Structure 1
Amino acid sequence: MKRHRIPVFTHDLFRESYTRDPAAAPGRLECIRDAIADVSEFHEALPASWEDIQRVHTPRHIQDVIREGLDPVASLAAGATVMAAVEGLQGPSFALVRPPGHHASADSSWGFCYYNNVAIALEHLKHHGHIRTAYVLDFDLHYGDGTVNILAERGYAAILNPQTEDRKEYLRQVEKDLAEAQATIIAVSAGFDAHQQDWGGVLLTEDYAALGFMTHAACERLGIGCFAALEGGYNHAVLGKNVRAFLLGLLGREEPFLSRA
């Protein structure tokens, strides 16, 4: 489906600073919302069901999150990602959420994560018969160990975590892997902390447009949809424009950003 605006699933609760970590910093969601408003259709998220969360996480881990008082916002982040995944069957969509999720394994979590949003969303699609296979692109600066721990043994998801400090090699690696991907949905763990003005110091803003466009091209080739969920990204001065560039790429509008030579 050709879209001019991208459905974005989010909630006002994500604006609250639920902890003191960088993912929960004041203003982080606002800088993104402001930057993407002209290319987005915002939809209010609902919490994930217990059934969806329990397909991925153990009762002990869920109880730990509840005891910390973080279940309301973590369940809402997972629910927004489930809604984006269902919408993503028809065309690109985005879950503008926090807490992030890709460091959450079935029975533990770290790195500002509590529930694994992308894994919960993919398991929802698989359980309801919407997909047979999935491809996960995780371009956050940090390796998405939780997603790998949860999905690798389930056998239906291929996962790419690019691990290089060479910008051109990074983009080549993603482009090659996506060109060979075979799946019935593409999910993106969209972390923006590898940017040259963020923690990683590797990618440029136009590179996020390129990553979005590569995902768009793979979906076009396979005749499938895609969805993305926010992971990292902590420099508020550049975060909004990086997310906007990525979403424009997902919509097939990457060209003005290109400078990869």
Structure 2
Amino acid sequence: MGTGLIYSERFLEHRTGPGHPERVERLSAIVERLRKTHQWDEVQHLAFKPADRKWIDAMHDPAYVDRVFEICRDGGGQLDEHAGGVCSESADIARLAVGGVLRGCDAVMEQEVHNALCLVRPPGHHAERDRSMGFCLFGNVAIAANYLTRAHGIKRVLVIDWDVHHGNGTQHMTEDRADIFCINLHQHPMTLYPGTGYAHERGSGAAEGLTLNLPLDPHANDERYRAVWMERVEPAIREFVPQFILISAGFDAGIDDPLASMNVTTDGFRWMTRQTKTLAEEFCRGRLVSVLEGGYDLRSLAENVSVHLRALMREEQQDGLMAMKAGF
């Protein structure tokens, strides 16, 4: 089994308006980089279709979902505050993005691929149950987490969100779920949108303690992320004992990103990916799906996604080469 890739040129038809940071060129730059490094030909491209709306409605207020489709049918415009613009195609493409992530989950669960990377847009981790936020329409990762529990019987899903902005939407839709553990590493909410993700936000009811927010001061670097990971993230994961891992893979904590103030390098993203994959191998039979969130400097975004994908693939390739040398 190899690494699966979810991508469609239809994602380029989601138009957010002139000068908007969440723009078509983000995916174009990534694809160009993956073609140049030949990774495009080394992954298993997965066919997929739009999600059955019941999975979107399970996590979002159906009236909100209706409103998104109605605005797009009317030609697009602005949704909720800080959501960004949408065009006539945006709702359908957002539904397709959800479908792609669910297909990635199916492919991993059915052992069609070992793990998967979903290069989708619009992103999802800011979308709340009844409103769009932060360039996000539907909560791709939150919907996938619920799908894994309901469609595949997974009892413990781990979400790791290392986007520089707190994944408020994912948290708000899952914070009362004892079967979903959300870990967020993000720039401190006093200094960055959306202003949520304080350490005291820990979940509710039977799920108290299954939301772990780790806000970091501006300019945190690779060393700081590694320290927090080893001191807080890894022990929490080991205690939870996940059966499937979802990554909200934002790359806007990168040192060159224009929308935040962090100093993570390509080596830092490579390290976090390897650590996550190692934990997936230990606890989840390798079951891991990564979903693109933010990242707005085109050059560094493309480079970091390439390194992230290579880390997802690396151990499989090394194992294959060792087997070939051994004559297997």
Q: Flag whether TM exceeds 0.5 (same fold).
A: yes
Q: 1:83 to 1:178 in 2, by over 3 A?
A: farther
Work out the CA distance in 2 between the residues paired with 1:71 and 1:57: 14
TM-score by length of 2: 0.72
Match of 2:248 in 1: 189
Secondary structure of the corresponding residue to residue 295 of structure 2: coil
Shift of 1:11: 1.1
Unpaired runs of at least 5, structure 1: 254-261
Contact 2:14–2:93 under 8 Å retained in 1? no
Q: Map 1:68-147 onto structure 2 (within 5 A).
A: 68-69=71-72, 70-89=90-109, 90=111, 91-147=114-170
**108-117 vs 178-187, greater mean Cα deviation:** 178-187
Q: How many angstroms apart in 1 are the aligned matches of 2:174 and 2:314? A: 28
| Deviation for aligned residue 1:17 | 4.2
SS of structure 2 residue aligned to 1:218? helix
Matched, 1:244 2:306: yes
Matches within 5 A, 1:146-225: 146-162=169-185, 163-164=215-216, 165=218, 166-167=220-221, 168-176=223-231, 177-181=233-237, 182-198=241-257, 199-200=259-260, 201-224=262-285, 225=287
Does the residue aligned with 2:51 lie in a helix, a strand or coil? coil
Superposed CA offset, 1:212-233 (max 9, x none): 1011110111143110111001
Stretch moving more, 241-250 or 134-143: 241-250
1:258 — aligned with what? none
Q: Which runs of 5+ in 2 are unaligned?
A: 73-89, 186-214, 316-328
Q: Give distance in 2, aligned partners of 1:235 and 1:221.
A: 34
Q: Deviations over 1:24-81 (max 9, x none)?
A: x232111111222423332333111011111111111101211221320110111111
Supply the distance in 2 between the matched residues of 1:217 and 1:44 (Cα, whole angstroms): 27
**Contact 1:213 1:252 survives alignment (8 Å):** no
Q: Which gives a bigger RCO, structure 1 or 2 (Cα 8 Å, sep 6+)? A: 1
Q: Does 2:65 correspond to 1:62?
A: yes
Aligned-partner Cα distance in 2 for 1:124–1:76: 15
- Tell me the CA shift for residue 107 of structure 1: 1.1
- Separation (CA, whole Å) in 1 of partners of 2:139 and 2:58: 11
Whichever residue aligns with residue 11 of structure 1, its letter is S
1:257 corresponds in structure 2 to: none
Match of 2:16 in 1: 19
Once the 2 structures are TM-superposed, how far is the Cα of residue 109 of structure 1 from its aligned partner?
1.8
Hey, what's the Cα distance between the residues in 2 that align with 1:83 and 1:124? 11
Post-superposition Cα deviations, 1:109-143, rounded to whole Å, max 9, x if no partner, equal 21000000011111111111331111111011100
Partner Cα separation in structure 1 for residue 176 and residue 165 of structure 2: 21
Give, in whole Å, the separation in 1 of the partners of 2:92 and 2:308. Answer: 28
Indicate the percent of aligned positions where both proteins have the same amino acid: 29
SS in 1 for 2:176: helix
* Whole-angstrom distance in 2 between the partners of 1:10 and 1:216: 21
Letter in 2 for 1:186: I
* CA 1:227–1:171: 2 relative to 1, 3 Å: same
